[in-house]
A and B are shown apart, each in its own frame.
Chain A
Amino acid sequence: MGTSLAAAAAPMPGPVRLFWRGFAENRGAVLGLAVMLVLLVVAVLAGQIAPYSPIEQFRTHFLAPPAWAPGGSTAFLLGTDDVGRDLLSRLIYGARLSLLIGLSVVALSLSTGTVLGLAAAFAGGVVDVAIMRFMDVVLVFPSLLLAIVIVAILGPGLFNAMLAVAIVTLPSYVRLVRASALSELARDYVTATRSAGASTPRLMFSTVLPNCAAPLIVQASLGFSAAILDAAALGFLGLGAQPPTPEWGTMLAGALQYYQRAWWVLAFPGFAILATVLAFNLLGDGLRDALDPRLRR
């Protein structure tokens, strides 16, 4: 009925456009987004892009240098490792693993953290105290140390490493959700919605949670890089992905003894981790700036 009127009026910038305007101002964030998209494409198309299989060994080319270095060949653009596997192919397949790790860890700790945080905020009392003190206990230990302990109990392997990292990063999500939920709960619209007959689950997930989304999105994107970094660290320590899996941290661990003879076996996986983590951190910062409600409206 009033649609013609609305169309005639000056178009209000939609929330998406408003968000993009804020986000695009931050060059670092756009760069981070670009790197992330490239990584995504590489990960998805790894089978098509990679010149070789990540575990295929070329017995005649141990520790071949990159193409542009003396003695290098264009057959192996980034050189080969100590058992003659193509580094470029391993890095490309490693991107797939790293994104998978980041995604699973964030999904696991975000969902669990959201449920626990909302439960703590809504229930209060004993439930709140129990959940939050347990999270404090988890926070007391240095995260990597705790992750190592968890992997030591569960046994090494990529899946257990992801589980360990998810547990270690859980407290920050729980705290964040609880804190934002508590501040939203104190606001009148929640009370009004309650008196409008909303059930508690509805109040939790469709009234309060969407209003806590902004800090959560930021935390998730920063958590993505933390997860990749932690999983790489576990891999480096031999507790994460096991060789010959082309996981970046595991690749570093295997190449450590060759750092004087063949810098490339260390430099390229290290650079891949650096670039990915940096990209997600920049992205997270940009999201934080763009989603901050105090800067909008």
Chain B
Amino acid sequence: MTEAPLLQVDGLKKYFPVRTGPFGQVTGQVQAVDGVSFALSRGETLSVVGESGCGKSTVGRSILRLTDPTAGEIRLDGERIDTLPPRQLRAVRRRVQVVFQDPFSSLNPRMRVREIIAEPLVNFGLARGRAAITERVAALLDTVRLPGEAMGRFPHEFSGGQRQRICIARALAPGADLIICDEAVSALDVSVKAQIVNLLADLQAKLGLALLFISHDLGVVEHLTHRVAVMYLGRIVELADRASLFGAAHHPYTRALLSAVPLPDPAARRQRIILSGDVPSPIDPPPGCRFHTRCPFAFDRCRSEAPALREVGPGHVSACHLTHEPGEALALPAAATGGA
């Protein structure tokens, strides 16, 4: 990877103020995203995984500039986009598009499919005149494998999977380089999920799209991603290519997540790491390693010193004080595993 990455995120932070009391004093901050850095190249898929509330969606929304980051830099093709004024933001908006989780609320119920997909074309001035727009919309519908007659219909006449195809067509319409899929397949049935994932993979191969795939479903992620970033409480704890992460995870949290993915083979056995307790509040995150309150392998250093991301293999970084090799089994200090 010698050329500059398409998307470069450095030290991204997003704090939301907590207001309490009758006059709304700021009494604390939700550290939704606290120092996240990664890069994404053209034609590459980076998945961001983590449990609810770990800040993965906030990362996506910050890149889309739907919320303004508190600190950090976001660059698209080397150009900073986190400080762009609204006027110049439009050009960026054209290149970064989004597909949301809920296909039922992400399409305007009062618009026909043609108008929905034509909206970015018209707003960005990419097609003029009825005939040109209709032609583009038909081509886009064909790209996402929907019939051209879908154009004249309303969103409520479509199933969840079909709606998600419409959302993808809308995201493709302005010729985006990067599509952020915020839990884009989480609300779909398994079979439909597979269709949409395959469609995204095909589109990526055909159009050279970069995908930022935000998900909590490791099964889906394994199927389509190139690299994976695992987030916990606003920080990336491990980032690796797919083979390393799924084959030889380093961070105890990643291992716990992986051990929770159901295996399709009923005879398969493996070491399960069952996490106890809840995720600590991002308003008052624990000192040291943010995961130490739930980590079965935590020791003294974890409680006082936050681990930095360090390289544990080629292109594989992990934020953990433990010195084991990736993939190496960890000895437990106490009986915290359930050997299923």
Contact = CB atoms under 8 A, between A and B. Distances in A.
Q: Do A and B come from one complex?
A: yes
Interface of A: 1-3, 5-6, 12, 187-189, 191-199, 202, 207, 210-211, 293, 297
Given A197-B90, A211-B109, A211-B110, A191 B151 contact: no
A192 B98 contact: yes
B106 A192 contact: yes
Given A3-B149, A5-B149, A188-B100, A193 B93 contact: no
Interface in B124-151: 124, 138, 147-151
Nearest to B135: A1
B110 to A, nearest CB: 5
A13 B150 CA distance: 16
Given A6-B152, A210-B110, A195 B93 contact: yes
B174 interface: yes
Contacts of A194: 66
Given A3-B149, A197-B94, 10 more contacts: A1-B138, A2-B150, A5-B149, A6-B152, A189-B108, A191-B98, A191-B106, A196-B119, A196-B174, A202-B123
B105 A189 contact: yes
Contacts of B93: 195-197
Task: Point out which of B64, B110, B173 has the most chain A C-beta atoms below 10 A from its C-beta.
Answer: B110
A195 B105 contact: no
A193 B107 CA distance: 9
A194 B96 CA distance: 12
Interface secondary structure of B, over-half rule = mixed
A12 B101 CA distance: 28
A38 to B, nearest CB: 32
A8 B35 CA distance: 57
B174 A197 contact: yes
A196 B120 contact: yes
B100 A192 contact: yes
Nearest to A189: B108
A191 B105 CA distance: 10
Nearest to B99: A192
B96 to A, nearest CB: 7
Contact of A207 (B66, B98, B108, B167): B108
A188 B98 CA distance: 10
A195 B149 contact: no
B328 to A, nearest CB: 42
B156 interface: yes
Task: Point out which of A1, A3, A187, A189 has the most chain B C-beta atoms below 10 A from its C-beta.
Answer: A189
B292 interface: no
A192 B96 contact: no
Given A194-B66, A197-B174, A188 B106 contact: yes
A192 B170 contact: yes
A189 B117 CA distance: 12
Contacts of B124: 197
Nearest to A1: B148
Interface in B56-96: 64, 66, 90, 93-94, 96
A280 to B, nearest CB: 26
Contacts of A211: 108-110
A176 B208 CA distance: 46
Contacts of A207: 108
Contact of A193 (B119, B149, B153): B119
B215 interface: no
A166 to B, nearest CB: 28
A188 B102 contact: yes
Contacts of B105: 187-189
B3 interface: no
Contacts of A297: 109, 156
B100 A191 contact: yes
B300 interface: no
Contacts of A2: 147-151
14 contacts: A2-B147, A2-B150, A6-B152, A187-B105, A188-B100, A188-B102, A188-B106, A191-B100, A194-B66, A195-B66, A196-B170, A197-B93, A199-B123, A297-B109
A288 B145 CA distance: 39
B265 interface: no
B278 interface: no
10 cross-chain pairs, A with B, having the tightest CB-CB distances, nearest first: A2-B149, A197-B123, A188-B106, A196-B120, A188-B100, A2-B148, A187-B105, A189-B108, A210-B110, A6-B149
